[in-house]
Structure 1
C-alpha cells in the first residue's frame, strides 16, 4: 500500500530528514491500479470471510444455492479471487523499491525503512486482533523485512529469488502442508461457532472468538508467505527495470504482457474453475497450482493493461476516478474492515451468514463507491489519508504537514482561469 512516487527529496549524502513526495510527483498509474485492486480485495473479502466463516469454503456443500449467487461467485472466482491480492502484493513491492530509491544517499535509509515496516506491523496487529482476522498487513510487514536486503541487490538476483520462491510456493501447494489446517470435523465446529459468535455476539464475544481463530488460520499464512515475498520482489524488479516509470518507452512490452497475462492467466483460472464446476476428480490436487499460477499471471496482465491504459489520454480520463481511492488505500482498507464488521457482526447489524453472494457484493459496491467519493473529497483538503499520515509520521519520526494548502491554491487558480 505504499504510494507510487518518483524522485527524491533528500540530497545525496544528506542526513536531513526526508519528506514524502507531493501529490504532483506521484505516478497516477500506480494509484489507479491500487484503487482498482482495492475493489477486488473488498469484493472477495466481503463475500467470503465477512459474510460466512473462513472455514466454510473448506466444507462440503459450500457452493451458493441460488443461480444468481452461483454465477456471481463463479465470476469472482475466475476474475478476482487471489488476483486482487496478488496485485496488492506487486504494488507493495513497487512501493518498497520507490522508497528505497528516493532515500538513496541518506545515511539512515535502512533505519527509516525498518521503522516504516515496524509501524505497519503494529497497525496490522491492532487490525488483526481488534477489527478483523483476515488482515494482510502483518504478513506484508514480515515479508517486507525479508525483501529489504534485496532492494539494493542486482536485478538478476531479485528475479532469481522471485522465481525460486514462486517455485517453492507451487511445490508447497501439492505437498502435505508444513503446518496443517484442522480436520473436517474441527472446521465444521469452528464454522458453527463462528456463526454464533459473529452473527449474534457482542464486541467482546467477537473478540474472544477472533483471538481463538487467529492461530487456526495461521497455516494459510505460512503457505502463501513465499508467494507474497516473491510478488514483492517482482514489483520491486518492475520498478528497478524502468517498465513502470518509463511507460511511454515500454508501451509495446506492456501490451505484450497485458495480452499474454490476461489470455494465459484467464485460461488457467478457467481451467482451475472447471475442476470445481465439473468435478474433474481425476486431476486430484493438480488444479490448485494451476489456479494459483493463473492468479499470478492474470494479475500481471491486469497490471500491465491498467498501467498502459492510464498513460493514454482516453484511458486516463476513464480511470482517473480510481486514483484518490488508491492514494488512500491504507485508510480505505482499514475502513472497509470496520464497516463490514459493523454490517455483519452481532455488535452491528448482525448479517453474518444471512445474505447471499450477490446481495453481499451489492453492499460491497456501495461501500466502495462511498469510499471513492470520500477519498476525492478528502484529498482536495489534505495531503494524505488519516492512516497514511500516521504511517508516514511514524516512519519519519515527526508529524507530517496534513493540510493541502498548496494544492487548494492551485485548484482555485485553475478554476479561475
Structure 2
C-alpha cells in the first residue's frame, strides 16, 4: 500500500471510507440546510442584526429559538472539525508521496476556486472560500507533532473568544447601513432578475466579509482540533468512550449557551454532537439507524452547491420569488424537503458511481488525472 501511494497517489476507494464520519457529515449538512434556508435565503442575512425584528407567529418563534440554541453555528462548527480531520487523513495517506505538499496545496487551491465561483455567481453565503484559506493556514501545522496542533488550536480558539468578548472597532457596518441594505435586499432579491440579483450579490460581499473575519480564528482552531482528534484516534475510539466524551460536552455546552456564554458553549456543543453521533454510528444498531446519512455525507460538496442553486431559484426573483414572503416554519419545511430529496438522490447516485459529480471533479483536478467514476467489479458486488 505504501509503495502504491508513493508511486501514484490517488483518492481512497469508497470501500475504504469511514462510514461514521460520513454519517456525521451528512447529519451536519441537515443543520446547515436548516440555518441557511431560514436565515440566509428566506430573508437577508443581516436582518438578524436589526432590532426589533419583524413579528412572527408563536410556531415560527419557537422553531427559530430551537434553531438558534441547538443548531445555529453548531452545524458549521461540526463541518470545521470534519474538514480538519479530513485534511489530516489526506496528509496521513500521502505520507509516502513526494508530492504530498503540492497535492494538498492544489486540493485547497481548487477548493478556493470553487468557493470564489460559488461566492460570486451563485450565492454569497459561501463557506468554501473561508475553508480553503483556513486550510492553507492549517496545512503547515500538520507537519508538526500532536502537541503543536493542540496548542495552536487552543490559541486560535482563545483569540476567537476574545474577539467575541471585545469585537474590533469598526469591523461591522453601522445600523443605518444594515437597515438600508436589508430594505434593498427585500426589494432586489424578491423581484429582481438574475443579473439584478447577481449585481446586488456582488455589492453585498464587502458587508459579508467582516462576518467571516469575526469567525475565522474559530474556523482555524476547529480545523486544528479536528486534525488533533484524528491523530489521537478519538474518532476511531470505541462507542462507549465516544459517548462518555460527548455527553458531558453536550451538557456543559447547553448550560453555557443558556447562561449566555454562546461562543464557548457552541464549540463544546459541536464537540459533543460529533462524539455522540460517531459513537452511535459505530454501533451495529446505530448503523441501521443513521446509515441513510452516509451517502449524503459522501456527496456533501455536490449537495451543498446544489442546495444553493435550488434555494436561489425558490427564493429569488428570477425563480419563484419567495424571498421575504415565508415564515420560519414554511421555509424550514422547504429546506427539509430538499434535504430528503438529496438523501434519496445521493443513495441512488452512489450505487452507480464512486463519487458525487463535484467530488469527482475536485479529485480529478487535485491529482491532475481523470479519476475512475464507475465502480470496479469488486465494489459493484459489494
- Evaluate the alpha carbon distance shift between residue 407 and residue 377 of structure 1 in structure 2; reply closer, same or farther with a 3 A threshold: farther
Aligned partner of 2:37 in structure 1 is: 46
Q: CA deviation at 1:359?
A: 0.5
The one of 284, 293, 296 equivalent to 1:313 is 284
Residue equivalent to 1:285: none
Aligned twin of 2:348? 377
**TM-score (ref. length: structure 1):** 0.89
* Structure 2 residue 102 is matched with structure 1 residue 111: yes
Matched positions, count: 382
The CA distance in 2 between the partners of 1:178 and 1:238, in whole Å, is 35
Within the alignment, does 1:268 sit opposite 2:256 as a pair? yes
Superposed CA offset, 1:89-130 (max 9, x none):
000001000000000110010000000000000000000010
Q: Distance in 1 between matches of 2:145 and 2:199?
A: 46
Measure the CA separation in 2 of the matches of 1:217 and 1:260. Answer: 34
Structure 2 SS opposite 1:151: helix
Residue 344 of structure 1, aligned match among 305, 315, 333: 315
Partner SS state of residue 353, structure 1 = coil
The whole-number CA distance in structure 2 between the counterparts of 1:323 and 1:97 is 20
1:64–1:397 Cα change, 3 Å: farther
Seen in structure 2, the aligned counterparts of structure 1 residues 312 and 363 have a Cα distance that, compared at 3 Å, is: same
Shift of 1:12: 7.6
State how far apart, in whole Å, the 2-side matches of 1:135 and 1:13 are.
33
8 Å Cα contact 1:380-1:408 kept in structure 2 = no
**Counterpart for residue 304 of structure 1:** 275
- For 2:191 and 2:95, locate their aligned partners in 1 and report how far apart those are by CA, in whole Å: 52
Per-residue CA deviation, residues 164-196 of structure 1 (Å, 9 max, x unaligned), is: 111100111122325521111110000010111
Q: SS at 1:88's partner residue?
A: helix
Alignment of 1:12-91 (within 5 A): 14=6, 16-62=7-53, 64-91=55-82
- 2:4, 2:381 → 1: CA distance? 30
For 1:281, the equivalent position in structure 2 comes to none
Structure 1 114/325 Cα, relative in aligned 2: closer, same or farther at 3 Å? same
- Cα deviation for residue 243 of structure 1 reads 1.3
Query: How far 1:409 moved relative to its partner?
Result: 3.2
Gaps of 5+ in 2: none
What is the alpha-carbon distance in structure 1 between the residues aligned to residue 11 and residue 149 of structure 2?
A: 26
In the alignment, is residue 168 of structure 1 matched against residue 176 of structure 2?
no
Deviations 1:314-367 (A, max 9, x none): 111100000000000000000010000000000000000000000000001100
Give the aligned partner of residue 370 of structure 2.
399
1:302-325 CA deviation, whole Å, 9 max, x = no partner? 000011101111111100000000
The aligned residue for residue 11 of structure 1 is 3
Moved over 4 A (4+): none
Unmatched 5+ stretches in structure 1: 1-8, 273-289, 412-417
Give the superposition deviation at 1:152: 2.0
User: Aligned in 2, Cα 1:179/1:385: closer, same or farther, shift over 3 Å?
Assistant: farther
Is the 2:5–2:93 contact (alpha carbons within 8 Å) kept by the matching residues of 1? no
CA contact (8 A) 1:82 1:292 kept: no
Q: Identify if the C-alpha distance between structure 1 residues 308 and 162 changes in structure 2 by more than 3 Å, giving closer, same or farther.
A: same
Name the Cα RMSD after superposition.
1.3
Counterpart pick for 2:210 among 216, 219, 227: 219
SS of the aligned residue for 1:11 comes to helix
